[in-house]
Structure 1
Amino acid sequence: MGQTAVMNNPAALVAKNKLAADFRRKGIMIALLSGLLYGFYTAFMTLGMSKGVWVEWYGENSGLSAFAVMYLLSALGAATTDSSSALWAMGIAGIRGRFGDFVRCIKTRPGFVMVVAAIIGGPLASTAYVVGLQQAGSIVVPISALCPAIGAILGRFLFKQELNARMLLGIAICFGASAMIGSTGMGTEAPPSLLTGILFGFIAALCWGIEGCVCGYGTSMIDPEIGITIRQVTSGVSNLIILVPLFSMISDVNPVTMVATAFGDGEAMVWFALAGLSAYLTFMFWYKGNAMCGAALGMACNGTFSFWGPFCCWIVLGVAFGYDGWSMPPIAWAAAVVMVFGIFLISMNPMDLLKKRNG
């Protein structure tokens, strides 16, 4: 009855369309903000791993083996960030009176699916991402942004999801952009660990692509805010009880001492706390933006982190704190922008935007 009244009233119809357009425009801005916050999450986490006791651990006289420096410290950095993010998530859920919902949902089947996905995207993907950042710098960020392309391919084989010509073109563009980035490792001035870092960036993209496929099931049945809390808590806890102890055992290091020292270092923890908050907000705004402007457009907007990641690292680490090695060659910047376009093509048909604007 109300819908019919609106259709018969031109002024009401115009007002309704304007309200929908404003709502969608706000959703786009929120989804874009999620991509920007992902960049700050990357920058603050890396900054935390260059302060306080971390300087000693990465120093030549740390007493840590090469394996420990490369893998244990990366796992510990990811664990510290994810645990900080989990504390933010639980604290915000508690303030909003939703902590009980979190406890109830984690016991359900969709909650279990979210836990499994978080283990894949937490200990595995986040540690690989940090290893890549430490070995190759911010050039790893656009490589890890291949996750939507990999997720689309996996979705076709695992869940028989559509993979049409437009999406295949977007995937080809993404992988072409990653090849452009990889080509920077062929020069004489490239650091010796750059190709290793890029390899770990691909591993992170693969794990996040798998997580994206699995989480699609979980988030369709769980409130996004609760789903994000489950994801961050699982990621933080699993990092602390799986990878950090495993790599500590291999490195012959006491994991309790390492974790206690990391969390007790106030100089570094300030930045890890900011990285954890940024990580929580980037997921929150991504899901909220998806709900307001549509999942396809939301994914495309969030994919701008392939540009914002290197940009934020350059601003925070290079410009603000004066660390060397956080600038990228022009071809890598161009590739990051090209990858944003590829992600956009995978996510949605550009003609749909024109239709909605004309409509």
Structure 2
Amino acid sequence: MEEVSRTITSETIGAKNKLKGNFLKKGISIALFSGLMYGFYSAFLTLGMTKGVWGDWYGVNAAGLSAIVITYVLGALGSAVNDTCSAVWAIIYATFKGKLGDFLRCLKTKPGTVMIFAALIGGPISSTAYVVALQMAGSIVIPITALCPAIGAILGRILFKQKLNKRMMLGISICVLSSFMIGSTSIGGDAPKGMFLGICIAFIAALGWGFEGCVAGYGTSMIDSEIGITIRQATSGLSNLLILVPLFGLLLGDGIKFSTDLTIQAFTSGAAMIWFALSGLCAFVSYMSWYNGNSMCGAALGMACNGTYSFWGPFCCWIVLGVIGGMEGWTLPTIVWIAALLMMFGILIIAMNPIDLFRKKEIAENDVA
């Protein structure tokens, strides 16, 4: 009887460990998928900003717009249109899941307020800086923005006294080295005009997203991740559309009416909105996959898997814009691809000890045996 009981217990533990291992693998797959979707979001957003009325604005004659309006006002507007589309997708998803009422109720809670604050940082500031950097320097800025986990780790240490050990410091150093490798391509006579400034602006996006990650971590630990994402996307879209774009129009353009006219033209340009709707969907799915992956494989490993967008971003832009779209300027130097892969490794080291992946596998195999 004892032997039968021992056999049943062993089989139960083996089945449990196998189920746990499959759950972890699924979480890793979902988190990796979030990085891929972020790459497609970047590509479709950039493609949308070449179609319809955007083609006139960025064209040879620039539709009579000044250089500062083209760079910053249109960058903010592109971010606003994308984030608004993403918010619509998020609300549709919440409605389909029967969580729209929970979404409205959470807006009044403290965790909801924290998510709104995080979205105000990651939306109007980081998202706009990301779009502006993309327009100025191309997909080379994407690995730079992937520094946000490293920045988040440093800010977590400063703001919340979180532990920052030698392994994490090594990962941060690798990420910084990678960013310098990428930045080196913007120095010299062969570098395109505006590339260095674009890379500098990309650092602003990384800083904002790093801070957002620190703040949002508190909010999402207390509310449903799907509700948190809906709050994040809705806040980002509305704040971009109703605050930042009018403010830029007032400061850099010919007033709020000027920015309002641009906004109406953008949303009524069917040729462009098709791609913005697609980029907004990819952005929403990316965030959704990242949050779901984190809940299954842990925030640290999920962060490392999501950080693969430092590779997928330039790759998707090259495929969608360069190969399929036939646009010039989307090929990247070999050093950038090497640096992107190196940065992915640095992010993994920040998030966890890579050796633990093999240890977990060995333990699971031993338990099953």
TM-score (normalizing by structure 2): 0.94
Aligned to 1:300: 304
Are the equivalent residues in 2 in contact too, given 1:7–1:13 (CA < 8 A)?
A: no
Within 2, Cα distance between the matches of 1:227 and 1:64? Answer: 38
In structure 1, how many angstroms separate the alpha carbons of the residues matched to 2:115 and 2:181?
A: 34
Which of 8-17 and 30-39 deviates more? Answer: 8-17
Q: Aligned match of 2:254 in 252, 255, 262?
A: 252
**2-side partners of 1:20 and 1:269: how far apart?**
42
Displacement after TM superposition at 1:59 (Å): 2.1
Unmatched tracts of structure 2, length 5 or more = 364-369
Tell me if structure 2 keeps the 8 A contact 1:48–1:272.
Answer: yes
In structure 2, the CA distance between the partners of 1:159 and 1:267, relative to structure 1 (3 Å rule), is: same
**Which residue of the partner structure matches residue 52 of structure 1?**
52
Are residues 10 and 60 of structure 1, via their aligned partners in 2, closer, same or farther at CA, if it must alter by over 3 Å?
same
CA distance in 1, matches of 2:22, 2:6: 18
1:323 to 310, 324, 327: 327
Does 1:26 pair with 2:26? yes
Q: Note the C-alpha offset of 1:6.
A: 9.0
Equivalent residues, number: 355
Query: 1:343 Cα deviation (Å)?
Result: 0.3
- How far apart are the structure 1 equivalents of 2:310 and 2:212? 18
Distance 1:339 1:221 in 2: 31
Deviations 1:35-93 (A, max 9, x none): 00000010000000010000111124211111110000000000000000000000111
Check the 8 A contact 1:43/1:316 in 2, yes or no: yes
Which residue in 2 is equivalent to 1:340? Answer: 344
Instruction: Using the TM superposition, give the Cα deviation of residue 352 of structure 1 relative to its aligned residue in structure 2, in angstroms.
Output: 1.5
CA apart distance, 1:20: 0.9
SS of equivalent residue, structure 2 residue 329: coil
Distance (whole Å) between structure 2 residues aligned to residue 353 and residue 337 of structure 1: 18
Q: How much has 1:188 moved relative to structure 2? A: 2.3
Secondary structure at the aligned position of 1:9 is classed as helix
1:69 aligns with 2:73: no
Counterpart position of 1:104: 105
CA 1:6/1:183 → structure 2, altered by over 3 Å: closer, same or farther?
farther
Q: Aligned equivalents of 1:7 and 1:103: distance in 2?
A: 51
Residues in 1 aligned to 2:125 and 2:207: alpha-carbon distance in whole angstroms: 10
Query: What residue identity is the alignment partner of 1:137?
Result: G
Q: Percent identity?
A: 62
1:11 aligned onto 2:11: yes
Deviation at 1:15, TM superposition (A): 1.3
Hey, what's the Cα distance between the residues in 1 that align with 2:302 and 2:59? Answer: 42
AA partner of residue 27 (structure 1)? G
- Offset from partner CA, 1:93-122 (integer Å, 9 cap, x none): 111111000000011011001001100000
TM-score (norm 1): 0.97
Instruction: Determine if contact 1:177/1:336 at 8 Å carries over to the other structure.
Output: yes
The answer to whether the 8 Å contact 1:105/1:111 transfers is yes
Task: Tell whether the 8 Å contact from 1:6 to 1:13 is kept in structure 2 after alignment.
Answer: no
In 2, Cα distance between the equivalents of 1:8 and 1:302? Answer: 39
Structure 1 unpaired stretches of 5+: none
Counterpart CA distance in 1 for 2:103 and 2:80 is 21
Q: CA deviation at 1:255?
A: 2.0
